[in-house]
Amino acid sequence: MSIAKTYNPKEAEEKWYSYWMENGFFRSTPDEREPYTIVMPPPNVTGVLHMGHMLNNTIQDVLIRRARMQGKNACWVPGTDHASIATEAKVVAMLKEQGIDKKSLNREDFLKHAWEWKEKYGGIILKQLEKLGASCDWDRTKFTMDSDLSEAVIDTFIKFYKEGYIYRGVRMVNWDPQGKTALSDEEVIRKEVNQKLYYIRYQIKDSAEYLIIATTRPETIMADTAICINPNDERYQHLKGKTVLVPLVNREIPVIQDEYVEMEFGTGCLKVTPAHDLNDYELGQRHNLPVIDILNDDGTLNEKAEILIGEDRFIARKKVAKMLEEVDQIEKIEDYKSQVGFSERTDAAIEPKLSMQWFCKMDQLAKPALEYVENGTIKLIPEKFFASYKHWMENVKDWCISRQLWWGQRIPAWYNSNNEWVVAKTEAEAIQEFEAQGKSTEGIRQEDDVLDTWFSSGLWPMSVFDGVRNPDNEDFKYYYPTNDLVTAPEILFFWVARMIIMGHDYTEKPPFRNVYLTGIVRDKLGRKMSKSLGNSPDPIELMEHYGTDGVRVGMLLSSPAGNDLMFDVSYCEQGRNFANKIWNAFRLVKGWETIDTPATEAQKTAAQWFENRFNQAVAEIDEHFANYRLSDALMATYKLVWDDFCAWYLELVKPAYQSPIEAETLETVKTLFQKILALAHPFMPFLTEELWHDELFGTRQAKDCVIVAQYPEVKAFDEQIIKEFATVQQIISEVRNIRNSKGMSPKVELPLAINNTDVNFSKYEESIVKLANISELTFVQEKITGAISFLAGKTECYVKLDTDNIDVEAERERISKEIAYLQGFLVSVDKKLSNERFVQNAKPEIVQNEQNKKADAEAKIKILEESLANLG
């Protein structure tokens, strides 16, 4: 049966993904094998596949497929995160389109809408991951608000509370006026923003004198409760004990002194607004200043502002500035750049806000999580991220874990009518706790706030195996700790650190052994890919156009661990071309007719070389995987297949046009081709499975699939054979180059003489004659005059051309240029070797490498000079 002329990725992808699923190849249950476990970083339930997901999940799939082929019990757990802020915003927007205001709903009704939305849209990204070929155990799919996972979250809150880590109190928090919720420090993204700096006149009471105070936020002046000066500032000594009037509202506030104020910065005077700035709040605490919060939860001005009540804060800023100008209390306005915090979820500008919240003490919890990474129990890949991880863990702040939302795990705290509270799992347990404390049980109600999403996802490697509620269950004991976590550096603290913290607190074990940190996917201009910039291709469209295998290869070719990926669709084109190369090589082999005769010595020699080269490549690839250099592992595979197998081995053994091939040789080719397919499978699952089942390899049993075939193991290889053949390859290439440089047809046969060396080239004679198109091959022990000569390794070779076919002057010019280049190269090498500091400080192998370069250059110059002399 013939094979299609071109590879049809779509047909293969649909066929084989269904086949793998139907035959349970992704399913994992505990057994006697070594487990290999990955938990998928759960994408937001609001999400659709983007280029970052493509990269992250392709890497995970490569690792899991390779482990499965190595005979390990590979378990990749998929799932999604409920993403409290983002999902609630989506549901609120959906309701608004339906003419429903969230405020008109009670919690129960809103959550019904939220769950309906989740069921309709929440699984889109997981279906898209199937298109990518993700070989997850879909039967294990989890959602962070599944009942068992939610129960684990509540149990953990209660556990941490009893251990003294969780407390409730009024603190300055990051407030998201759009999401109307508090955020942790890690959920705030700092951006440089172009602003205005307003210099405002504050009148000293009972004086014509004004103080000039600079601020970027004139809308907050109504919340000012003091003016602060440095006690050492001579300019303002006369102001001690004085008061000033807040512009527009004429409220009297004191002048205070504190060394916190920098005399050289701005005007040396600081307006103190304790309710709307963290530093001002701390200053106010030291000086017992009142706190006036003039902002509502949605960022509009409240009645405490006295003016512009109900106006949005940014509109109020412009209006206050205009009002100040009208009463001549603006000195000047300047353009100004400063860092402003924005919500990571809604992109709203953050407001510092005093708020009653729930917090988790982090200082003690963070210590073991730092030690795991410091002592190498957990490896960060690449290591460059350790410094920032260490800094964060050593300077960690208490974590604000409460969110003013309805979508999420509701905090298990209960209040009575006196606003006293207890922590308990159920209302019944709360009543018992109130009674035990001798407190009223009237008007029992549960805390409205939910927990920060990261509090639940921090349990992910445990909760997906039900290890929090039931640590003695078979799955948890078998799969935990997991092996590799593949994630993005920007959630190293959001998520990775918290999983380590919670994993240690429960099990005194790390949740994983290795953390592979991917880079950011950027466009070829270096810009981060985003919908707003319009520079991010649709991954689904890419896979439709280039085939999934092509896109997987394209992503990985340009993705060194931890370094940003400069992505361009040309990489996907390269990936598609690679798939087509393998397909066409297979068509070539399948088209050969056979003759029932043994292989020739040349074919056996070629097979011996390729098997050794294959084993050498497997060792290289294994080392790359061991060091999580997946891009390098793919490139080594790519070169082995494209160059060594297709360009050399198949060319060496293929029969002459319309001639049959020896049956023994074809069997060898088929065996080697299957090894190639197994090696490439983790990167290119669909193409390799399609070819694996071709009739060329005989009839396969139902489960005789490449997805579970033996992955090539590292074996010994003969470096001498590889080195010898590298010389043969160079000889063939040099002869071809001679033809190219002379504009000769590849069909023109040329005579070749090889000066005998230690290498026995006689066993390669047939291969050299065939691939270099040699009319006569001779082995000599003397130099041949009147011929073009070249070095292949240390072997001197000669090609004698008919002088009628040579432009002697052009050849003389070409050789002279090459000599000049090598002489310049020799000068640079000599300069390095004559540098005593280099010779003394460099590693011996580096010095030896430079000496080898010198010897090679000198030998080549000598040969070229002889060639020049031969031209007369």
Q: Is 142 annotated as a binding residue?
A: no
Please check whether residue 609 is in contact with residue 722, taking contact to mean a CB–CB distance below 8 angstroms: yes
Distances (CA, A) of 79 to 43, 138, 237, 723: 7, 9, 64, 49
Flag residues of the chain having pLDDT under 70.
Answer: 1-2, 531-533, 560-562, 758, 803-808, 871-872
Q: Rounded distance, CA 750 to CA 336, Å? A: 75
Alpha carbons within 13 A on the beta-carbon side of 419: 2
| Cross-strand partners of 191 | 340
3-state secondary structure of 231: coil
**189, burial (CB in 10 Å: exposed 0-12, middle 13-18, buried 19+):** middle
Please check whether residue 353 is in contact with residue 172, taking contact to mean a CB–CB distance below 8 angstroms: yes
Q: Rounded distance, CA 406 to CA 424, Å? A: 19
Please check whether residue 174 is in contact with residue 396, taking contact to mean a CB–CB distance below 8 angstroms: no
Given this model, what pLDDT does residue 1 score?
A: 55
Q: What single letter denotes the amino acid at residue 110? A: F
**372, burial (CB in 10 Å: exposed 0-12, middle 13-18, buried 19+):** buried
| DSSP at 442 | T
**339, burial (CB in 10 Å: exposed 0-12, middle 13-18, buried 19+):** exposed
| Tokens encoding 355 | 């708020």
Given this model, what pLDDT does residue 473 score?
A: 97
Phi-psi region of 517 (alpha: psi -120 to 50; beta: other; left: phi over 0): beta
Please check whether residue 333 is in contact with residue 196, taking contact to mean a CB–CB distance below 8 angstroms: yes
Given this model, what pLDDT does residue 866 score?
A: 73
3-state secondary structure of 273: coil
Instruction: Identify the structural domains of the chain with CATH numbers, from first to last.
Output: 181-351 (3.90.740.10), 539-717 (1.10.730.10), 745-870 (no CATH)
Given this model, what pLDDT does residue 664 score?
A: 96
Distances (CA, A) of 576 to 10, 555, 560, 570, 827: 13, 12, 20, 10, 44
